[in-house]
Amino acid sequence: MGRQVTARKRRRLEQAVPAVAQPAIARPLLRWYARAKRDLPWRGTADPYRVWVSEIMLQQTQVERVRGYFARFLEWFPTVHDLAAAREHDVLRRWEGLGYYRRARQLHAAARRIVADHDGEFPRTVAELMALPGIGRYTAGAIASIAFDMPAPIVEANSRRVFARLVGHDRPLGGAAGDAPIWEVAERLVPTRGAGRFNQAVMDLGAMICTPDRPLCARCPLANVCVAHATCRVDEIPVKAPRRRSRQMHETAVVMRHGGHVLVERRGPGQWWEGLWDFPRDAAATGRKLGAVRYTVTHHQIECVVRERSAARRSPSTDKRRWVTVAGLATLAMTAPGRRIAALLKQSSSI
DNA sequence: AATTCGGGGCT
DNA sequence: AGCCCAGAATT
């Protein structure tokens, strides 16, 4: 009997949310936000450059990871002009360890375009922002709302979960089709003024209250209008899409040595970690085994055996190959496995 | 519509 | 070992 009542109640609530809409949600949410918001280094300013850099860094990257990078990056590149004037390799160096290095290259390219085409002024509309490399619908909405107070909606990991629970959306999320209903909810709820605060409030709610596991509904300012809460389906929403299983891979890295120097190569276009340095890979390599490095890239699990050999001579350096001292590796932007191989090197030489 | 990009932290 | 994360671009 409870089933039917629940289903009817669910339908009623699903229709109620868009109708109740803005004030009933924004008011308690913003009151909560004023009291509980996170203290984050990129807040407290509407400087579009800082908002932009933070949003790019935050793509698929947890807030706590970005904290340290953000301040250092801004010391190196305080304005969009500094970033535009920098060399790509120096930008990649300051990005090393954050992952998704395409973001850094596109950030750099976009900075140059903002300086060249927009005279250093950021575009203010979602459409213009999306025309810049590395800026999709989410990032454009975030910059437009936070830096320029435009009524632009956003959907990302937190708001996706918050909105799905709020309206009781129980279909698999992700992708253009899966997220489309969530974007509709976001569009309906974003206020015409103070959209930036609203968007950040939704994200903070998702990060602190409406968490993936064991959300703190007892402390949620929206609990009384939340369909998932009312129908006891908080644990079932959002519905997770099935995940791909990972593939195993094997490779051999070679440490070529000559007179205190080692050989490194720069990853080219189409390769993982484009623009970053690493030790050469050679499946047929022979030589003394130094150890192994295991790492994961998205859904690939790679076991990398590390061998060392001595070279008869040092080939001339190019922009793709270079002989450097072990100490000199510190000045290069390196891949994560490359950095770990370098650590292996120091370890073995100190023994 | 499906894949491909990193990497660390947490359970 | 699996899951998660202030997504975007490419095919």
Q: A316 CA, B6 C1': separation in Å?
A: 32
Q: How many CB atoms lie within 10 A of CB A137?
A: 18
CA distance readout (Å), A100 to A39, A59, A145, A274, A334: 25, 9, 25, 10, 13
With 70 as the cut, is the pLDDT of residue A12 above it? no
Domains A2-230 and A247-350 share a fold: no
Nucleotides of strand B lying closer than 7 angstroms to a protein CB: 1-9, 11
With 80 as the cut, is the pLDDT of residue A148 above it? yes
Tokens of A101: 């290095």
Q: Where is pLDDT greater, at A294 or A11?
A: A294
The pLDDT value recorded for residue A349 is 61
Positive or negative, the Cα torsion across A115, A119, A120, A124? negative
Q: Is the CB of A140 under 7 A from strand C?
A: yes
Pick out the nucleotide with least CA–C1' distance to A200.
C6
Separation between Cα atoms, residue A17 and residue A138, nearest integer Å: 23
CA distance readout (Å), A207 to A10, A88, A145, A224: 25, 33, 19, 19
The pLDDT value recorded for residue A5 is 40
Please identify every residue of A annotated as catalytic. Answer: 55
Which residue has its C-alpha nearest to nucleotide B7's C1'?
A99
Pick the most confident of A24-33, A241-250, A338-347: A24-33
| Of the listed ranges A11-25, A99-113, A123-137, the one predicted with least confidence | A11-25
CATH of domain A2-230: 1.10.340.30
Q: A270 CA, C11 C1': separation in Å?
A: 13
Yes or no: say if A305 and A255 are a contact pair by the CB < 8 Å rule. Answer: no
| pLDDT, mean of residues A9-21 | 53
A167-203 per-position pLDDT tens digit: 999 999 988 899 999 999 999 999 999 999 999 999 9
Cα-based angle A134, A137, A141 (whole degrees, multiple of 5): 105
- Which CATH homologous superfamily contains domain A247-350? Nucleoside Triphosphate Pyrophosphohydrolase (3.90.79.10)
Residues 254-293 of A with CB under 7 A from strand B: 272-273
Instruction: Give chain A's end-to-end CA distance (angstroms, integer).
Output: 73
Q: How many CB atoms lie within 10 A of CB A140?
A: 23
Tokens of A24: 């009933």
Yes or no: say if A312 and A281 are a contact pair by the CB < 8 Å rule. Answer: no
Q: Is the CB of A62 under 7 A from strand C?
A: yes
Q: Is the CB of A309 under 7 A from strand C?
A: no
A212-229 per-position pLDDT tens digit: 999 999 999 999 999 999
Q: Give SS3 for A72.
A: helix
The pLDDT value recorded for residue A18 is 52
The residue ranges of every structural domain in chain A are 2-230, 247-350
Q: Give SS3 for A203.
A: helix
| pLDDT, mean of residues A242-261 | 91
The pLDDT value recorded for residue A245 is 77
